[in-house]
A and B are shown apart, each in its own frame.
Chain A
């Protein structure tokens, strides 16, 4: 059995001291070990930005792609090899600005991968511009008079887009975050996990203290039922999206792969590529 230490490599992250992303890294390593994976059974596909570097900081297969495109790459990897556990990850700019189209379509497509967003509500690596997750009025380098545009609500968006597993967590709560990632990996279908991962350098508003003050754990809400879609939406609206835990899960919905007509039971990677003569001859005859 692998332990979380087996998922560590010798690369020193280039994140700022105190960055929320360190905990996300640790939680992925722990969750992977806890669900019984060995490092070669995991592929972490990441986008661009501070958080995008995460695929290089976990000892597993990893691909650090282009800005906003971690999801289509990750879905391609999973389709090629259904035996792999595939985690896509990136920041809020990656997933909700440049990559928003892919995010929504990955949710409705429901391929069995886990998507972890490290949400710091700011553009860090480009040194502090507004993000689609920044609050209205938020002052940044690109919004010196305060952000005019409204804020994207990722969890409501996920539910209305048809995501079958929708969860949110806070990076200091390593135990809770690890458990949620485990549940996401075990979920058969697309799981989206938004993690509040504070930027200690450029976001002086949404700090660790701010989150501690404003977040509500769903486990503290009496009779909360994550299979109730309407309750999930109402709870999110009542709490301005600031809740943690598994918000919504549809355990019945089959994943995309389960519904693809003719999709092989065995992973496609490793299959013999040549067609047999008879099949080819039949294909040719269809054109005559």
Chain B
């Protein structure tokens, strides 16, 4: 019996690889296993190798597994590309149709199963993925009946006959593999799961659900990978609360429309990835200057330019902190789990209204698209705070007088009225302005307004700016990351600790303003510090050095080949760092 299984299905894009993984993992999630899926895909619709790697576990998992138990292959390329991940006792289940060949040096066993033939005999070769699911079940000795519910949901609307055919395809795949395996049936049998019903979702689902729970009524967006699922979810759900999604002509329109809607008094936002964010920079400056709440989600992908649109990277950090010309107050938050993505999205809207400034919710492709089992979300924790939004009637002012929308206050935040309110008329402009919003170039006013704006974030309240797992008062190593690297770091730490290395962990959740005070004691009490990030220049490491100092102590573990960190990358990188550090002082370790 094993408590963890790593399963991968691969083939050509458009061949049903995604749905094979979806069906397999949804059913296992319902049994109470913890799932973590990561899709390798390309920027095209049909053709090109794609795979879906799914980890099944009896305990929570948040990282792509280091190795592979079962590889389901719909073509030879899948075997050639992925066999290196298989451990010696792994199993390849391949469609007999392409006469699969096991590469030299691969110790895993290959089983050819006629996926296509069995499916075609049942009526359509489209069901070959169902045969593959059934064959996988034989290896782990899983009763095929667990798929009844999922198959019913997917094919129910096509009629009972189609449902039965698909179930039969699963059963026949199981039977065929059962006969092939002989005594190896159940070779990788999983321990029973806890049976808990958990949500199974991608980070983008959590962001979209958070936006809905956070009171959003209008999303303005332009399609882009890997952000589009957020708008797709809300297109379906926003009408239920009277709102809508507008697909705009470009990302400039998306950001400025969201600004207009926030100015108009509702919660509105946009979501995009690097190229879209680059286009939004001027609008983000407008929100900063006019003190209009604005939430923008950036699901980071490989840059620069079009870069690697379907691959993992964390290289937008500096652009998100500093992007836009001139200086504005801005908040950048970076959830590192799907659960945090939900709560932080709601919090992004609260912060945007409380501090009347743009808030960037940073995600990355791995967090946004990795499908995983999620712990229950606590709706009672959801609160909506609108800051200094004036809700009561205003007294009548003098004739021609304007409301002081930009009143200089102690905390820098001024009362905000929305258009339509009697006696609240004021002007809003991206030009430097006085307390009523009228343009003003006077040096004294400029300084007063600049100070007021920048003062707003001095005492920002954010519940957990740094996620910490710091068991050791004195640590050999402190590993720091942000966004989706958390799971891989945790697993690397587990292995390092087993060898006697004392490792603390910090995952930065509030990126800007940087929580220096929270992090500093951990840096000070560690012998070495390694910052783990998916970029080439060590952006987070540089931010930390800039804020906390210790330029010689802080090293980088970098990966920018488009793939996420797996635990062994961080484990090996940490070991290498120790070794190197005794020889010479290197500031960067490229993996």
Please report A residues at the B interface, Cβ cutoff 8 Å: 8-11, 39-41, 43, 45, 53, 55-56, 59-66, 69, 71-81, 83-84, 101-102, 104-105, 109, 260-264, 266-271, 273-275, 277, 279-281, 283-284, 287-288
Chain A, Cβ-Cβ closest to B290: A63
Residue contact A105 to B379, C-beta cutoff 8 Å: no
Q: Within the assembled complex, what's the spacing in Å between the Cα atoms of A288 and B153?
A: 12
Interface CB pairs A-B, < 8 A, 20: A11-B438, A39-B425, A63-B429, A69-B252, A73-B257, A73-B263, A76-B264, A77-B264, A80-B262, A101-B253, A102-B252, A109-B246, A261-B239, A262-B240, A263-B239, A268-B242, A271-B266, A273-B214, A284-B376, A287-B200
CB contact under 8 A between A40 and B439, given known A61-B425, A81-B265, A268-B266: no
Residue contact A64 to B419, C-beta cutoff 8 Å: no
User: Which residues of B lie under 8 Å from residue A268 when comparing CB positions?
Assistant: 217-218, 242-243, 265-266
Residue contact B425 to A40, C-beta cutoff 8 Å: yes
A126 to chain B, nearest CB (A): 15
Q: Within the assembled complex, what's the spacing in Å between the Cα atoms of A256 and B438?
A: 33
Indicate whether B519 reaches chain A with its CB closer than 8 angstroms.
no
Chain A, Cβ-Cβ closest to B265: A269
Q: Within the assembled complex, what's the spacing in Å between the Cα atoms of A84 and B243?
A: 17
Residue contact B427 to A62, C-beta cutoff 8 Å: yes
Residue contact B420 to A61, C-beta cutoff 8 Å: yes
Partner of B213, one of A261, A271, A275: A275
Top 5 A-B residue pairs of the complex, sorted by shortest distance between their CB atoms: A262-B239, A76-B260, A80-B264, A264-B242, A273-B215
Residue contact B249 to A81, C-beta cutoff 8 Å: no
B24 to chain A, nearest CB (A): 16
User: Which residues of B lie under 8 Å from residue A263 when comparing CB positions?
Assistant: 239, 242-244
Please report B residues at the A interface, Cβ cutoff 8 Å: 29-30, 197-201, 205, 209, 212-215, 217-218, 220, 237-244, 246, 248-250, 252-254, 256-268, 282-283, 285-286, 290, 374, 376-377, 379, 382, 384, 400, 402, 418-431, 437-439
User: Which residues of A lie under 8 Å from residue B261 when comparing CB positions?
Assistant: 76-77, 79-80
Residue contact B248 to A72, C-beta cutoff 8 Å: yes
User: Which residues of B lie under 8 Å from residue A102 when comparing CB positions?
Assistant: 249, 252-253
CB contact under 8 A between A80 and B217, given known A64-B428, A268-B242, A288-B199: yes
User: Which residues of B lie under 8 Å from residue A45 when comparing CB positions?
Assistant: 260
Partner of B430, one of A9, A40, A66, A280: A66
Residue contact A76 to B257, C-beta cutoff 8 Å: yes
Residue contact A66 to B197, C-beta cutoff 8 Å: no
User: Which residues of A lie under 8 Å from residue B30 when comparing CB positions?
Assistant: 288
- SS class, residues of chain A in contact with chain B: mixed
B418 to chain A, nearest CB (A): 6
Residue contact B258 to A271, C-beta cutoff 8 Å: no
Residue contact B427 to A76, C-beta cutoff 8 Å: no
A185 to chain B, nearest CB (A): 16
A10 to chain B, nearest CB (A): 5
Q: Within the assembled complex, what's the spacing in Å between the Cα atoms of A104 and B384?
A: 37
Chain B, Cβ-Cβ closest to A263: B244
Q: Within the assembled complex, what's the spacing in Å between the Cα atoms of A282 and B156?
A: 21
Residue contact A274 to B402, C-beta cutoff 8 Å: no
New A-B contacts (14) at CB < 8 Å, excluding given A80-B265, A271-B217: A43-B264, A62-B428, A64-B430, A65-B429, A72-B248, A73-B256, A76-B218, A76-B260, A77-B261, A78-B260, A79-B246, A80-B268, A81-B420, A288-B198
Q: Within the assembled complex, what's the spacing in Å between the Cα atoms of A152 and B117?
A: 62
User: Which residues of B lie under 8 Å from residue A266 when comparing CB positions?
Assistant: 242
Q: Within the assembled complex, what's the spacing in Å between the Cα atoms of A277 and B262?
A: 25
Partner of A72, one of B253, B267, B422, B427: B253
Give the most central of A45, A63, A75, A267: most B CB within 10 Å.
A63
User: Which residues of B lie under 8 Å from residue A75 when comparing CB positions?
Assistant: 246, 257, 260
Partner of A40, one of B263, B382, B419, B431: B419
Q: Within the assembled complex, what's the spacing in Å between the Cα atoms of A75 and B252?
A: 13
Q: Within the assembled complex, what's the spacing in Å between the Cα atoms of A55 and B400?
A: 15
Residue contact A105 to B241, C-beta cutoff 8 Å: no
User: Which residues of A lie under 8 Å from residue B374 when comparing CB positions?
Assistant: 287
Partner of B249, one of A79, A101, A274: A101
User: Which residues of A lie under 8 Å from residue B259 when comparing CB positions?
Assistant: 65, 73, 76
User: Which residues of A lie under 8 Å from residue B430 when comparing CB positions?
Assistant: 64-66
CB contact under 8 A between A80 and B218, given known A102-B249, A269-B266: yes
B216 to chain A, nearest CB (A): 9
Partner of A288, one of B200, B253, B266: B200
User: Which residues of B lie under 8 Å from residue A65 when comparing CB positions?
Assistant: 256, 259, 286, 429-430
CB contact under 8 A between A287 and B201, given known A63-B290, A79-B261: yes
B391 to chain A, nearest CB (A): 9
B506 to chain A, nearest CB (A): 30
Residue contact B263 to A77, C-beta cutoff 8 Å: yes
Q: Within the assembled complex, what's the spacing in Å between the Cα atoms of A66 and B283?
A: 7
User: Which residues of B lie under 8 Å from residue A59 when comparing CB positions?
Assistant: 400, 425
User: Which residues of B lie under 8 Å from residue A104 when comparing CB positions?
Assistant: 249
User: Which residues of A lie under 8 Å from residue B197 when comparing CB positions?
Assistant: 288
User: Which residues of B lie under 8 Å from residue A105 when comparing CB positions?
Assistant: 248-249, 253
Chain A, Cβ-Cβ closest to B419: A61
